[in-house]
Chain A
Amino acid sequence: MSLPRAYEEQLVERAKSDADAFGELYDHYFSQIYRFVYSRVRDQDAAEDVTSEVFFKALRAIGRYRSSGHPFSAWLYQISVNAIYDHYRSRRPTSSLDGAVGVADPARPVVERVVDSSEAERVWAAIDSLPPQQRMAMTLKLGEDLKLAQIGRIMGKSEGAVKLLIHRGMIGVRQRLGIVTLVEEEA
């Protein structure tokens, strides 16, 4: 559930000088952020590490936060995306991500692969190697079930731009899984 915008803005302002207000923000957004992070790292320890990093970064930076008309969650998601990226960068080179995707058998139909949980992980790992904007749009849509308009607000983009990111992301995932698509991608 979203906080009323006016209340959220007041809460964020208070959080700059009131620990309890920050606690209220934490209480409201923790589950959302943890779930988002977990969906990206798929490991409880790593999700806890990254989620901790997200909220500590938010706490340290909230004094500099200026509302740009987007919900506060957009800022938290942005921190999360960066923290997840840092997490992956510290753990393994990008090439290994591609390698993880590459081991999928492109000859097998997608429908057969979904029953295989390790295959499911590889399918989601394909999202990791997408360009950052596509990756974020895909995760917020398919991992968090957010509306296109909400994603647009979080990312500071129009709904149409989000659609384009998801469309390109979906094609990118299929390409990385070795699935041939007949849809031509625009430049």
Chain B
Amino acid sequence: MPRLDGWLDPELEDLFRDQPELADTARLLHTSRPLAEADPHFRHQLRGHLMAEAERSLRRRRAWWRVGPAHAAWSGAAVGVVAVAAAVVSLLFGHTQDHQNLFASSNVAAQHAVSPADVITVAFNQPMNHQAVEKGVHIQPATTVNYSWRGNKLVITPVHHLVGNTPYTVTIAQPSIRASSGATAAAPIQITFGTAPTPPPGPSTPIPPRLAAAALGSAETGASVVVAPDGAVAVSSGLLPAATVEASPPPRPSSPSASPAAAGQLGVSIPAVIDFPAGGGAPVVRGPSATALAFAPAGSLLAMAVPNPDGGSLIEVAASNGGGTTVLGQAATTVTALAWTSNERLIFADGDAIKSVQLSGHQRILLTLPTASGEVDALSSSGYAFVAAPGSTGGGQLLNIAAGTSRLLSGVTAGGVAFSADGRTVAWIDAGGAGSRLVTEPVDRDTPASVSTLDPSAPTSDVALNVDGTEVAYVLSASTGAAQLVVAQLPSGAPLAVSPAGSAPAFAPSGGGFGFIASTPSGAQVERGMIPGSSAAARLAAPAAASSTLDAFVDAQVRGDRKALTALSGPGVDASARAPHRLSRAYIVSVSASSDGTVNATVELIVDPTGHHSTASVADERLALSPSTDGSTYLVVDIDTTSLHDQSSGPHVVRVSSSATGAFTLQISFDSDLDASSVPGAISVTSASGVATPISTTYDTSSRTATVTLASLPAGPLRVAVSTALRDIDGQALAAAFSATVAF
């Protein structure tokens, strides 16, 4: 028999050294073994169910448990810093007679793509002196945090989330690592990690761009909209002129399927579910007004909860390809919320229970609501529900449907809760305090984080999240009564766009679709929105083609993609030889376009810290880009890169951008939480002739961004400088004086 080529486990090679046919069979099995990574969504969901089940079963078990004897004191010979670079590390050893070791582990240790919205945990294997440990925590870049404890686990929650695409080092000083018994550790803890390269927080511009939108049709006041992945928008209670509508008469339970009828059968006076196709085709009436709507993840099906005359509801599904409407199930009372958990199954809530129904029509009760419980306001694709508190007291419970467990969301008012389409994030308006607060957190973790709104003093309502919880939409009610719709990035809260009179925002379950209801002099109107780009459009005063090349070039440097670097470079430029190897990440600090067409950029190249080298290594790079010969794109024509060196402690400038919307402003973003009082005096702007330009500077703590407003715009490029007078919250000065050229 011919031999199979290929790798074989050395142990098997040895085992079958004298039996090549068995080695061949082993190779065959190894080569053909099925390999698969689990769906992260499944992993996440299963964890949630297990945790809920664990909490429930442990509550039952705890009655039998007995706390063991107190742990002995520690001492030990451990020296130096203990890097929590692996999942777990043994910190030090106790006396041989008590054998009590201290272990610490962290959820973020040695990871390179931690979500900026994540919390940092440090789990110890025995009770700690909370105050002492908290006192010893130091985070670089400086970050304002809150501390909480879950048993022996320290939870460090950044007040304004972490900065994306940034290396972090968390140190706990040795004398502060103190057990409840009073014994202290012999070495400090150091945890290094990097955050995911999410889009950088947008600048806190005084006047965010207006949301571009196209009017689709009229709607009743109070109607809601949903958006399909392809951008189709459906409204729960729309009003359209008969001539523009294809009518699909509402089905009856006795007639489970109905086909769309000819256009013009429905008059303007009958509110109906109306589907506005993405391509701009004629709107289609899907049925009578609905109390809840949801597009399936694939977008081909629209589920509707349609009230019955007897007080109940029908659950109907309409196919977007004109295949008609099918009644899947019924509810005895009004359905208040509806969500798809897959393309085959949806869940809905009426006054009595939360139920599921398959496309086959198979329906079952998932959870019976307690008598006198409040209304289910929202359902998630991951199986969570928000149940409002009875009456109008505000607040309610976030309910894990499968596990039957819940936790309080305080101060929530009607319509004030939304889930991301992936079901992982919940956002709500907490109106329980003096003002209203926009809050987000993962559905399976009680780690709320406040999000800055455009006007913290204005009441907030109508919250919506995009597919993965990276964008939020909300409505601000001005004292004049006008409702301003805001779309903002998460976690920074930096506004992406506003609409002066919008409500009921909705994102598509995938893709970038967005819809809302606009208030116009002629009444409520359904609109399809276009959210401006979250980064490139707002941050760079450079041609789009140059920005595209720049982004691709920096990305290729991080990936070490020599082929891509060559393709993006001009003749004679050996890009792959210039950049340091094994980069962890990089970010573009500033970009400016010259009058000769050249675009200049400054870039920070970073190698994350490791267990062996606890400081990030950085290199500063300056790039020049010019249009290609045929003008179709830009190429990198010059590179100047320093060698890698240890990153200095203290805050760093991570981005400088300019905006001419409404006023001439510069936005300077930092990687650290700053001492706000030190910011204005540390920033200066000079003209091309070297004359200082009058400026006023404000600092937004949530986005860590200084906004510099110019009193006037001198001719030519400007030089913005940040001096080392700038301090972070820990009193550390700016790591190095900074300057950059900017243009409007």
Question: CB within 8 Å of B: which residues of A?
Answer: 1, 3-4, 6-7, 10-11, 14, 16-20, 22-24, 26-28, 30-31, 34-35, 38-39, 42, 44, 47-48, 51-52, 55-56, 59-60, 63, 109-111, 113-114, 117, 119-121, 123-124, 127, 138, 141-143, 145, 147-148, 163, 166-167, 170-171, 173-174, 179, 181-183
Contacts and interface: CB of A to CB of B under 8 A. Distances in A.
Contacts of A182: 21
A20 B47 contact: no
Nearest to A164: B15
Chain B CB within 10 Å, residue with most, of A16, A23, A119: A23
B50 A111 contact: no
Interface string B153-165: 1000000000000
B9 A111 contact: no
18 contacts: A6-B90, A18-B58, A23-B50, A23-B51, A24-B123, A26-B50, A44-B39, A52-B49, A56-B50, A59-B54, A109-B1, A110-B1, A113-B28, A114-B28, A120-B31, A123-B29, A124-B33, A127-B29
B736 interface: no
Contacts of B1: 109-111
B50 A55 contact: yes
A123 B25 CA distance: 9
B691 interface: no
A110 B38 contact: no
Given A30-B43, A55-B50, A114 B88 contact: no
B32 A20 contact: no
Interface in B670-726: none
A20 to B, nearest CB: 6
Contact of A141 (B12, B19, B53, B88): B12
Interface of B: 1-4, 9, 11-12, 15-16, 19, 21-22, 24-26, 28-39, 42-43, 46-47, 49-51, 53-55, 57-58, 61-62, 65, 86-88, 90, 101, 103, 105, 107, 123, 125, 150-151, 153
A6 B125 CA distance: 11
B54 to A, nearest CB: 4
Given A7-B125, A111-B1, A20 B103 contact: no
B151 A114 contact: no
Nearest to A112: B2
B90 A7 contact: yes
B36 A170 contact: no
A119 B32 CA distance: 9
B401 to A, nearest CB: 16
A60 B25 contact: no
Contact of B33 (A20, A142, A163): A142
Nearest to B15: A163
B179 to A, nearest CB: 14
A16 B61 CA distance: 9
Contacts of A181: 21-22
Contacts of A44: 36, 39
Contacts of A55: 46, 50
Given A6-B90, A121-B32, 4 more contacts: A10-B125, A35-B36, A114-B28, A166-B12
Chain B CB within 10 Å, residue with most, of A27, A142, A183: A142
A141 B25 CA distance: 13
Contacts of B46: 26, 30, 48, 51-52, 55
Nearest to A23: B51
A174 to B, nearest CB: 5
A141 B12 CA distance: 9
Nearest to A151: B11
Given A23-B51, A48-B42, A111 B86 contact: no
Contacts of B38: 30-31, 34-35, 38, 47-48, 51
A19 B55 contact: yes
Contact of A174 (B4, B22, B105): B22
A163 B151 CA distance: 44
Contacts of A171: 22
Say whether chain A's binding surface is mostly helix, strand, loop, or mixed.
helix
Contact of B53 (A20, A59, A120): A59
A17 B22 contact: no
A174 B25 contact: yes
A170 B16 CA distance: 10
Given A10-B125, A20-B153, A55-B46, A123 B12 contact: no
A184 B83 CA distance: 53
Nearest to B99: A6
Given A51-B46, A111-B24, A166-B15, A18 B151 contact: yes
B152 to A, nearest CB: 8
B404 to A, nearest CB: 15
A59 B26 contact: no
Contacts of A28: 87
Contacts of A109: 1-2
A161 to B, nearest CB: 13
Contact of A24 (B21, B53, B57, B105): B105
A6 B105 CA distance: 13
A17 B65 contact: yes
Contacts of B3: 111
Contacts of B2: 109, 111
Contacts of A39: 33-35
A55 B45 CA distance: 13
A173 B28 CA distance: 11
A170 B22 contact: yes
A148 B25 contact: no
A10 B103 contact: yes
A7 B103 contact: yes
A170 to B, nearest CB: 5
A163 B4 CA distance: 22
Chain A CB within 10 Å, residue with most, of B11, B39, B43: B11
Contacts of A141: 9, 11-12
Contact of B25 (A1, A4, A38, A173): A173
A114 B31 CA distance: 8
Nearest to A182: B21
A109 B101 CA distance: 57
Nearest to B153: A20
A124 B25 contact: no
Nearest to A42: B34
A-B pairs with the 4 shortest C-beta distances?
A120-B32, A19-B54, A34-B38, A142-B29
B65 A48 contact: no
A44 to B, nearest CB: 7
A171 B25 CA distance: 9
B93 to A, nearest CB: 10
A3 B90 CA distance: 11
Nearest to A148: B11
Contact of A114 (B32, B35, B43, B123): B32
A18 B57 CA distance: 10
Contacts of B24: 110-111
Contacts of A124: 29, 32-34
A160 B30 CA distance: 21
B7 to A, nearest CB: 10
B21 A17 contact: no
A20 B123 contact: yes
Nearest to B27: A114
Nearest to A171: B22
Chain B CB within 10 Å, residue with most, of A17, A109, A121: A17
Given A35-B36, A38-B36, A56-B53, A6 B29 contact: no
Contacts of A51: 38, 46
A59 B31 CA distance: 34
Contact of A167 (B22, B50, B87): B22
A88 B21 CA distance: 30
A23 to B, nearest CB: 6
A1 B88 CA distance: 10
A3 B88 contact: yes
Contacts of A145: 9
B32 A110 contact: no
Chain A CB within 10 Å, residue with most, of B16, B88, B123: B88
Nearest to A14: B125
Contacts of A110: 1, 4, 24-25, 28
